Structure 1
Amino acid sequence: MKPQVVLSLEQALTLTYATLRFVHLGWRVIRVEQTPVSGRKSKGDPNRYIGRQVAGEDRHSYFVAPNLGKEAIAIDLKQAEGQALLKHLIKELQVDVFCTNTLPARHKQLGIDYETLCKQKEDLVWCCISAMGLAYPDVPGYDPVMQALCGYMDITGHADGPPLQCGPPLVDLKAGDEAFIQIILALMERNETGKGKQIDISMAQVAVSWLHTFLPMLDMGSPPSELKRSGNEHRQFIPVNAYQTKDGFIYMAIGSDAQWSRFVKQPLFAPLDEERFTTNEGRRKDKTELHKSIEAITQQHPSDKIAKVLAEAGIPHSPITPIENVPNLPFVSSNALRTTTPDGRAVRLPPPAVETDYLRQIKGTLPFAPAYGEHTDTILKEVGLSPPEIASLRERGIVA
């Protein structure tokens, strides 16, 4: 597929992550932000001001990674002239995709609803990410709230502890991935039909769509207690858990009776070779005792010795890698993307989920995240506005 043009009224994480995936394909992504609000110190996307200050006042650390390689323009869509300018951009830039994660109740007010924008370009692919979809236009939502609503917090944490949110913002990222996939599919359909499409992404629905190993089991004999918080252990496969060693922790996962058989054939774990443990159901029945018995062994030896034994048995295992050491893992460092701050500091980035031709061409180095309104003048000149016209729009607060 040839590179497309994406215009995205975006903020926070879920949509900025989705459009970053288009940057990885070499597509042009222009992020639209609101013009300054009277009485408010910060301008544009609130995420610009989260984390450590990196470049100027409007590029803090939390904002940088999801916004690499993008252009930035600021338009006041509360004014009719700003809405007309947005339509002009869609027409003149031949925009293929328009995205937004603005509260759906505000779409018509801002002139960004599908019905309005598709009149400017009939084959426009339009995508919205919101808390609960267009059917619930007034419902706001952030990732941890969706985790709470959709049961994630009820199944995360230790059995005797409070509900916890997951470490990474899984719902934000899942919704972003879904937007990316659905937009790609819509563009493929457009190649066949010549028609655009409206895509409605509900963060809540995509979150619940991942609960395949929970919800159906309620109707197949599993009591709710069997699906609740269970700390580091797997609810069904036994033993899968983190075990203390002499110098830390090691995580191991035995996912079949064949793996168990190999495990207990190792002299170190031979004392666990009992008939009652030969099947997963048997191990599950006495899992508390089994976990304690395994840890009684692992506590007596350093992690590297336990890892060697598990490797010999072909058992999946890993140390608990501190987050600061993840960039140094060989498979990460060899595929990591990079950027450079305006003052010359190198920044390591996560590798892409899958390497793309474009990322290979640019050798994995992406331009730094844009400053607020950094490309406003350049883009407006591109669509035919003269310097006096642009100056007039600025003076009247239509652009920034």
Structure 2
Amino acid sequence: MGALDGLKVIDLTRVLAGPYCTMILGDLGADVIKIEAPGGSDETRGWGPPFAGDQSAYYLTANRNKRAMTLNLKEAEARDILRTMVKSADVLIQNFRTGTMEKWGLGYDDLHALNPRLIYCSISGFGQSGPYKDLPGYDYVVQAMGGMMSITGSEESGPMKVGVAIADIATGLYCTIAILAALQERHRSGRGQQIDIALLDSQISLLANVASNYLVSGQIPKRYGNQHPNIVPYQTFRASDGEMVVAVGNDRQFQKLCEIIDKPELAGDPAFRSNSERLANRDRLIEMLQAEFLRKSCKEWQELCTSAGIPAGPIYNLQQLFDDPHVAARDMKIEMSHPTAGQIRLVGSPLKLSRSRVEIKRHPPLAGEHTREILREYGFADEQIDDWLARNIL
């Protein structure tokens, strides 16, 4: 039995942030009902190639462990169906443009009146308040406006985005955290509440120590590429057969590094004895270290660093990553069958619970795949469902 077994979640989201959140809830055992417009309105269904059969890899990313139905929420009858479902739901999560749900009579106040225990989570680019609340929000734009691109890349490359939609993913994670917190609070109060999660807020929070450095010093941070702004040496190096990362986090580890490269005298050099001195003399030290790292392979250096207690590892491409036996041992690559795509491979769940184990029970659903099944559970007759289908209500 999953940790969230018995939890009913209505998922009115699309693309990545919301579906990522609801996938996590589904992985943990919640009954997630993904609702789209007739024909399927999650844009990621068409975001390819690559495709597995007729299913885009992007859509498969974040939609397992859900059931799917369709509702044309532009129609009053469809909105009434949703209201019926909300009466017994625990969580509703939506990412329509700000004000859309209120226009339809499906805002928090409307649905809270039907179900005071409902936890209602809204995702938007810039939040439900503030001067930007009505602007559309996309991950790329938020990475730009949220400071991430200004610190990613090097001075030579100019601003760069992160290689994945990091603002969307962070937003999905924060939504999950907020929903679980609201559920815990509901145990005490018996009441639900509204959750307002913005991509921009989530992105800003990811600036972490870089934001703190700025807020403390007032100095606008530079782009350091694969170097660290506060720690040296903590970056990529070229070995004889490829690139790797060496992360020296303290002076003791630096002494060990000097020993394994057969340059113990560097640890006693006044220019390099402490991290602050290494920061001041970064370029000279890195040039010296780089010359030494070219003498051995990534694997040799990883073994030497590991034996000395220094974090280090090769830079994998995704083939190397998913071929790694440790990744297999951690179940981070899984396979499951899909009705139209055949056998599909997905990223596993990082959540490892000793008793309430994560189970991947449901394939990413086809648009509306479970519409009839779900509506029957709410007491609607097949004749009524057929009528709604014929009139594009579903």
Q: Could you say which TM-score interval applies, normalised by the shorter chain? A: over 0.9
Q: Which range moved further: 288-297 or 332-341?
A: 332-341
Which of the residues 326, 329, 337 maps onto 1:331? 326
Separation of aligned partners in 2, 1:396 and 1:358: 46
Aligned to 2:44: 47
Letter in 1 for 2:14: Q
Q: Deviations over 1:284-306 (max 9, x none)?
A: 11101111111111123222222
Aligned to 1:9: 12
Separation of aligned partners in 1, 2:116 and 2:391: 31
- 1:261-276 aligned at under 5 Å gives the runs 261-270=255-264, 272-273=266-267, 274-276=269-271
C-alpha contact 2:25 2:32 (8 A) present in aligned 1? yes
Separation of aligned partners in 2, 1:179 and 1:155: 25
C-alpha contact 1:6 1:97 (8 A) present in aligned 2? yes
Aligned to 2:36: 33
- 1:120-159 aligned at under 5 Å gives the runs 120-135=114-129, 136-159=132-155
Matched, 1:378 2:376: no
Q: Which range moved further: 242-251 or 149-158?
A: 242-251
Matched, 1:216 2:219: no
Matched, 1:309 2:304: yes
Gaps of 5+ in 2: none
Matched, 1:249 2:243: yes
- TM norm structure 1: 0.91
Q: What is the DSSP-based 3-state SS (H/G/I as helix, E as strand, rest coil) of the residue aligned with 1:276?
A: coil
- CA gap of 1:247–1:361, structure 2 versus 1, over 3 A, is closer
Q: What is the DSSP-based 3-state SS (H/G/I as helix, E as strand, rest coil) of the residue aligned with 2:216?
A: coil
Aligned to 1:187: 183
Q: Which runs of 4+ in 1 moved over 6 A?
A: none
Tell me the CA shift for residue 185 of structure 1.
1.0
Separation of aligned partners in 2, 1:188 and 1:221: 38
Tell me the percent identity. 28
Q: What is the DSSP-based 3-state SS (H/G/I as helix, E as strand, rest coil) of the residue aligned with 1:104?
A: coil
Gaps of 5+ in 1: 37-42
Separation of aligned partners in 2, 1:140 and 1:205: 14
- CA gap of 1:186–1:220, structure 2 versus 1, over 3 A, is closer
Aligned to 1:258: 252
C-alpha contact 2:53 2:342 (8 A) present in aligned 1? no
Aligned to 1:40: none
Separation of aligned partners in 1, 2:17 and 2:310: 36
Tell me the CA shift for residue 223 of structure 1.
2.4
Letter in 2 for 1:28: D
Tell me the CA shift for residue 351 of structure 1.
2.9
Aligned to 2:21: 18
Aligned to 2:287: 292
- TM norm structure 2: 0.92
